[in-house]
């Protein structure tokens, strides 16, 4: 007698039981292997950049102060990189939540950029947020923008 599959009917006339079906299913991964590797790399990069306790960059009302999240200024869905440190802001959970649920406010205040954003736009967004550029690490010549 051959093995039952999910689409088979029991030869005795009944449908296969849940136990019959569960033996033959391959569980679906909750996270892809690519994302797992990317998450590990991102964690290591952020850990190296922070080097210890860091204050939240946003300092919005309700801020807890201690960084727990890395916020993508240009999200992966808009073509941004999850591992480019220039694209990640260090935030506490309440500030990250506020920025995420208020997209128009976030756009105006430099916490998010559109999908058409260039590396210069990321740097300008950082300048809007903090009123200073990313100094010596910035690849953009801002004298052209003035």
pLDDT at 13: 58
pLDDT for the residue numbered 93:
94
Structure tokens that stand for 11 in this block: 């030869």
Go through the chain and tell me how many residues it has. 146
State the pLDDT at residue 124.
78
CA 27 from chain centre, in angstroms, equals: 25
> DSSP characters for 71-95?
EESS-GGGT--SS-GGGEEEE-HHH
Distance, CA of 144 to CA of 50 (rounded, Å): 31
Determine the pLDDT at residue 127.
75
What is the per-residue pLDDT for 48?
Answer: 86
Write the DSSP string, 30-43.
SS-HHHHHHHHHHH
The pLDDT of residue 143 is 41
Q: Which residue has the tokens 């922070």?
A: 50
Each residue's pLDDT expressed in tens, for the chain with a length of 146 residues: 556 555 555 555 566 666 666 666 677 778 888 888 988 998 888 888 888 778 898 889 999 988 989 999 998 888 888 888 888 899 999 999 999 999 888 888 889 988 888 777 777 777 777 654 444 444 444 444 43
Cβ neighbour number for residue 68 with a 10 Å cutoff = 13
Prediction pTM value: 0.63
């Amino acid at each position: 007698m051959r093995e039952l599959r999910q689409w088979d009917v029991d030869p005795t006339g009944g449908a296969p039981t849940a136990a019959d079906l569960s033996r033959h299913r391959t569980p679906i991964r909750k996270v892809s292997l690519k994302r797992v590797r990317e998450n590990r790399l991102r964690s290591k990069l952020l850990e190296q950049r922070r080097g210890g306790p860091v204050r939240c960059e946003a300092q919005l009302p309700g801020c807890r102060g201690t960084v727990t999240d890395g916020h993508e200024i240009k999200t992966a869905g808009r073509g941004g990189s999850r591992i480019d440190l220039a694209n990640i802001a260090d935030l506490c959970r309440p500030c990250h939540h506020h920025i995420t649920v208020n997209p128009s406010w976030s756009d105006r205040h430099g916490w998010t950029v559109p999908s058409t954003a260039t590396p210069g736009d990321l740097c300008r967004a950082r300048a809007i947020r903090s009123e200073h550029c990313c100094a010596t690490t910035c690849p953009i010549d801002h004298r052209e923008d003035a």
